[in-house]
A and B are shown apart, each in its own frame.
Chain A
């Protein structure tokens, strides 16, 4: 496959879809680990410590994930801008709701909301974690003689504004996934008349279950300390 293949409209679609599918897989494993915080704080601590200190995760998967996130957002902005330019004069009267869903037309809005949330999420968890591990050099994962991960997560959700922000962000993530999931299979050419409905239904289930899971975890930690 030549380099120029990716500089085509279909090449962009495929790259967007592949990065999106990768991020959806990441979301799923993130949810599984976070769910442990509800079931067993010890299991959550163990899993967090493994993910936070394993060299393969830290120095291979984490950079790939960061690249995937940055690539997906930059490509999203680039394509949105390019697409807007393809119609210099807009219709005076347009009725897009007659032929397409709001979520499919406004991926940039749901995507920007998720991006704003990622900013908060990085400030809340990722930057402090990097600070402790790689600036202060403390790889033990301990605080006052016990693993710190569960307490850090639990305490973050004491503040209602943060919980509300998380809930809003995950609602928009759900909207983003409702279109993004089935759309990615169309973009890579897997969807057919026989499989499209299945991708659509499974995508909706994924788009509801995964964000709802994150919302319930945030609510669990909020409720259990009030």
Chain B
């Protein structure tokens, strides 16, 4: 198929940036979206044009590196997939595709479609962990009985890959879905209870400090999340944050 790509080009964080138009032909419907961009970059290099910078790593929907706001949606028009899992069969011959970086003040553009999502790392560092004695006598996690429902819900929350689609999709650039998933994956398990209060308070405070917006419960994050992280996590985090502050 033949396509017209409108791609955001921005030399650096301080550059203004603009949408540039690139026609591309003979795109196979079996290609992934990133493979299509690889082909475009090969063509640009041959023409001695700076290739388009974009984030990618595992290319199998696990690492959360690929981002891209494609035709007005994070990770494109498909559901429960990352951009690397999005295939060109989702588009039609002759389509014009708009490709932009994830936009939020807390995700500054580094170059072209690459954004700095280290704000997520800093939120994780503020409390997204369990302190475990690893000096050789670590207890086997399976020796602690955990209700199946709690284990399943915690695991579902833990599937968040921190890609930032929630922030990109939210009209307020809120990171509540990401933070709530990271809070929930620990708070539902006995190992996470010890630091539960400090965790939720510190992570929420860090989230605010990083400049993310407020959640207004539009639910866009849940729809666009490639891992289907549930809004239940946000409600749980709100509940935990309130009780943690009451019992402080």
Contact B219 A99 (CB under 8 A): yes
Q: A136 at interface (Cβ–Cβ under 8 A)?
A: no
Most buried by A among B73, B171, B219, B246: B171
Contact A79 B214 (CB under 8 A): yes
Complex-state Cα separation, A193 to B236, whole angstroms:
10
Complex-state Cα separation, A141 to B58, whole angstroms:
76
Question: Which residues of B in the span 209-237 have a Cβ within 8 Å of any Cβ on A?
Answer: 211-220, 223-224, 230-232, 234-237
Contact A82 B219 (CB under 8 A): no
| Chain B, Cβ-Cβ closest to A191 | B235
Q: B98 at interface (Cβ–Cβ under 8 A)?
A: yes
Contacts known (A10-B204, A186-B235); A83 close to B73, Cβ less than 8 A: no
| Chain B, Cβ-Cβ closest to A98 | B73
In the assembled complex, which residues on chain B have CB atoms less than 8 Å from the CB atom of A89? 103
- Give 20 CB contacts A-B under 8 Å: A1-B248, A8-B241, A79-B216, A82-B214, A83-B213, A86-B173, A87-B105, A93-B6, A95-B71, A95-B72, A98-B72, A99-B218, A99-B219, A104-B217, A104-B219, A107-B216, A189-B238, A190-B239, A196-B231, A196-B235
In the assembled complex, which residues on chain B have CB atoms less than 8 Å from the CB atom of A99? 73, 169, 218-220, 223-224
In the assembled complex, which residues on chain B have CB atoms less than 8 Å from the CB atom of A9? 174, 176, 204, 207-208, 212-215
Q: B100 at interface (Cβ–Cβ under 8 A)?
A: yes
Q: A144 at interface (Cβ–Cβ under 8 A)?
A: no
Among candidates B100, B213, B214, residue contacting A92 with C-beta atoms closer than 8 Å: B100
Complex-state Cα separation, A87 to B238, whole angstroms:
23
Q: How large is the interface on B (under 10, 10 to 19, 20 to 34, 35 or more residues)?
A: 35 or more
Residues of A within 8 A of B (CB): 1-2, 5, 8-10, 12-14, 79, 82-83, 85-96, 98-101, 104-105, 107, 179, 182-183, 186-193, 196
Contact B208 A2 (CB under 8 A): no
Most buried by B among A83, A107, A193: A83
Nearest-neighbour CB distance to chain A for B27, whole angstroms, equals: 19
Complex-state Cα separation, A88 to B104, whole angstroms:
7
In the assembled complex, which residues on chain A have CB atoms less than 8 Å from the CB atom of B71? 93, 95
Contact B19 A92 (CB under 8 A): yes
Residues of B within 8 A of A (CB): 6, 8, 19, 69, 71-73, 77, 98, 100, 103-106, 169, 171-174, 176, 204-205, 207-208, 211-220, 223-224, 230-232, 234-242, 245-246, 248
Contact B220 A100 (CB under 8 A): yes
| Chain A, Cβ-Cβ closest to B176 | A9
Complex-state Cα separation, A194 to B135, whole angstroms:
41
New A-B pairs, 10, CB < 8 Å, besides A2-B248, A83-B172, A94-B72: A83-B171, A83-B173, A83-B213, A93-B71, A93-B100, A104-B216, A105-B218, A107-B216, A186-B238, A192-B232
| Chain A, Cβ-Cβ closest to B169 | A99
| Chain B, Cβ-Cβ closest to A7 | B208
Complex-state Cα separation, A9 to B214, whole angstroms:
5
Q: Give 7 nearest A-B pairs by CB, closest first.
A: A189-B239, A95-B72, A86-B213, A83-B172, A99-B223, A189-B238, A93-B98
Contact A105 B171 (CB under 8 A): yes
Nearest-neighbour CB distance to chain A for B184, whole angstroms, equals: 12
In the assembled complex, which residues on chain A have CB atoms less than 8 Å from the CB atom of B104? 86-87
Nearest-neighbour CB distance to chain A for B168, whole angstroms, equals: 9
